[in-house]
Amino acid sequence: MSIFAPLKAAIQKTLVFLVILIASSGDLSSEAAISLPESREQAIDAFVGQFVDLAMFDGTILIDIGGDVVYQKTFGFAQREHGVLHDERTRFRIASVSKALTDASIAVVIGQGKFSLDTPIGRFLPDFPAADKITIGHILQHTSGIPHTNRQPWGDGSISLTTDEIVDRIAKLPLEFEPGTDSSYSNGGYAVIAKIMEIAGEGTYAQVMHDTVFDALSMKDTDHIDDSRAVIPKIATGYEPGLYPGERRHTRFYAVEARPGGGSLYSTAGDLLKFTRAVFRDDFIPDQLRRDVMGLDDSGYLSQGRSPGFVANLLYEPERDIIVISLANSYSVSSGWAAAIADLASGRVDENPWPNLEQASPMVSPDDPRIGRYRSSFGDFELVLERSPEGFLLTVDDVNNAHAALIPLTDGSYLQPQYYQRCSQDSATRIITCRMLSGDERYTSTLTPVAD
């Protein structure tokens, strides 16, 4: 790595702020004339902008309140190496937000009478294990017991697999539990759903999605990726935090076609707005199916997705009648991101709802007490904190392929950019506790020193 890396980072920070200043507000028809009060717009700009500066967010934010687009801005680059800025037509891989669109298609097919939530998958896949016990509803509710493909040696996205190949491989695996007796998130279940959609709809998964959702809602910038190596016009390149603060670097190859139904779609903020309005505000899907299939309840609906290089959030809150769509081509995952933006847009809070981050010098000394090997409580694996040749504090996590510069803060803690976590070390035990900036305690983790 060049000795000029810190200077490069500083230059990038300046460029990013310039990008924010000239970021397009987008144009989703004439309704874009309605806007937020200036103070709320500035608060959102500041909230998002701090993470753009830290290489934790590049992408687009769209906010609809009461049927009006009140905020639509893009931040950073769709393709950094060629200087291509984001605009309102930039396409993003939407990872597990694909499940929301698949669920809507399932609701349409149920409305057509082709199957119900109680239909055993054996009607379509008679040779699948426990096909008479697993129902369509079990899969959508992640209670089928079908294994999560991400945990399989062949399921990390490093190889391209067809839907048939995935279903055949899943069928050879034992169920994780008896259908309906437990709950466990499963991309494998959605691969099975994609295959059932093909059989019931007499076409490919992509054709069924067009027939039931995309064409009906004029979602012209949304489709299924059946070959991750193919060129897709206007699609963003995915990045992740790099090996010095402020750097973006390319992620590993990730074949999203190995996530049919559950993570294989791309879209735009505008198309997802059409989808969210139609599904949750209009009558595209009947009320009962919105509850039973989509999972809408009184608190609203939240769909989140992540895959190497991309993070997607789709939020709808009926109480405030607000939609927040956030699409990023930077792999940093945050709990509570869309909700924080909704709070700023609606005036529930007037300023940054998360702790202020005051950066210290990115350089650390060779005897920094945080340097060492640790065991993580979140997944029970080992990782290393080390000092780079340039003097940056790095996390080296081979299990999750997460190698990135950490960002020291003035209070002695550091920011872990991949997960929006602030981490503090106990000086006596050397145990490091990492908490989400949003305050979501579900993702609090500890790093316990491992003896050399």
Q: List, as one string, the DSSP characters of 384-423.
A: EEEE-TTSBEEEEETTTTEEEE-EEBTTS-EEETTTTEEE
192 token code pair: 């099975």
End-to-end CA distance of the chain: 28
- The pLDDT, as a whole number, for residue 251 is 92
The candidate with the shortest Cα–Cα distance to 28, out of 59, 63, 57, is 63
Band of pLDDT at residue 16, cut at 50, 70 and 90 = very low
20 vs 66 pLDDT, higher one: 66
CATH code that applies to domain 372-449: 2.40.128
Distance of CA 172 to the CA centre of its chain: 29
Q: Which residues make Cβ contacts (< 8 Å) with residue 194, sequence separation at least 6?
A: 102, 163, 205, 260, 261, 262
Pairwise CA distance, residues 285 & 111, whole Å: 8
pLDDT band per the 50, 70, 90 thresholds, residue 33:
low
In the chain, pLDDT over 90 holds for what percent of residues?
A: 84
Q: What's phi and psi for 376, nearest 5 deg? A: -85, 140
In 81-150, alpha helices (H): 98-111, 136-140
**Alpha-carbon span 448 to 286, nearest angstrom:** 50
Distance between CA atoms of 49 and 166, rounded to whole angstroms? Answer: 40
Note the maximum CA span of the chain: 67
Residues 128-134 have a mean pLDDT of 96
Which parts of 2-75 fold into alpha helices (H)? Answer: 5-22, 38-53
Query: What are φ and ψ of residue 68, in 5° steps?
Result: -115, 135
- Is the sign of the CA dihedral 83, 332, 335, 303 positive or negative? positive
Tokens describing residue 161: 């697999």
The per-residue pLDDT for 400 is: 73
State both tokens at 265: 């779609």
b/e 44-73 (16+ beta carbons within 10 angstroms → b): bbebbbbbbbbbbbbbbbbbbbeeebbbbb
User: 28: pLDDT confidence band, cut at 50, 70 and 90?
Assistant: low
In this prediction, residue 26 carries a pLDDT of: 40
**Residue 247, both tokens:** 């750097």
Nearest C-alpha neighbor of 98 from the set 290, 223, 261: 261
Q: Does the structure show a pLDDT above 70 at 25?
A: no
Both tokens assigned to 444: 């609090």
Q: What is the pLDDT of residue 287?
A: 94
Total-model pTM: 0.90
The residues pairing with 433 across neighbouring beta strands, listed in sequence order, are: 424, 446
Average pLDDT over every residue of 235-251 = 92
Residue range 42-60: mean pLDDT, rounded? 94
22 pLDDT higher than 70: no
Residue range(s) in the chain whose domain bears CATH number 3.40.710.10: 99-210
Strands 77-79 and 239-241, bridge-based pairing: unpaired
| Dihedral pair phi/psi, residue 57, rounded to 5° | -150, 130
> Which tens digits make up the pLDDT trace of 297-320?
999 999 999 999 999 999 999 999
pLDDT at 233 over 50: yes
Instruction: Quote the tokens at residue 435.
Output: 């908490």
Q: Which CATH superfamily is domain 99-210 in?
A: DD-peptidase/beta-lactamase superfamily (3.40.710.10)
What is the per-residue pLDDT for 354?
Answer: 94
Quick check: 7 pLDDT over 80? no
Q: How far is CA 293 from CA 104, 206, 210, 300, in A?
A: 8, 20, 19, 14
What pLDDT, on the 0 to 100 scale, is given for residue 14? Answer: 39
For tokens 């769909």, name the residue. Answer: 303
Pick from 17-26, 76-85, 160-169: least confident: 17-26
User: Residue 391, SS3?
Assistant: coil
Q: Residue 21 pLDDT more than 60?
A: no
Q: What is the predicted pLDDT for the residue at 151?
A: 87
According to CATH, where is 2.40.128 located in the chain?
Answer: 372-449
Residue 389: count other Cβ atoms within 10 Å of its Cβ: 8
**Residues 151-205: tens digit of each pLDDT:** 898 988 899 999 999 999 999 999 999 999 999 999 999 999 999 999 999 999 9
What percent of the chain clears pLDDT 70, i.e. is strictly above it?
Answer: 92
CA dist 125 and 110 (Å) reads 18
Confidence of residue 398 (pLDDT cuts 50, 70, 90): confident
What pLDDT is stored for residue 34 in this prediction?
76
What is the spatial distance between Cα 296 and Cα 440, in angstroms, rounded to a whole number?
Answer: 21
One-letter amino acid for residue 178 of the chain: E
Tens digits of residue pLDDT in 318-329: 999 999 999 999
Determine the average pLDDT of the residues in 280-289.
95
For residue 28 the two structure tokens come to 């989703």
Average of per-residue pLDDT values in the chain: 91
Stretch 217-234: mean pLDDT, rounded? 96
Distance CA 48, CA 74 (A): 10
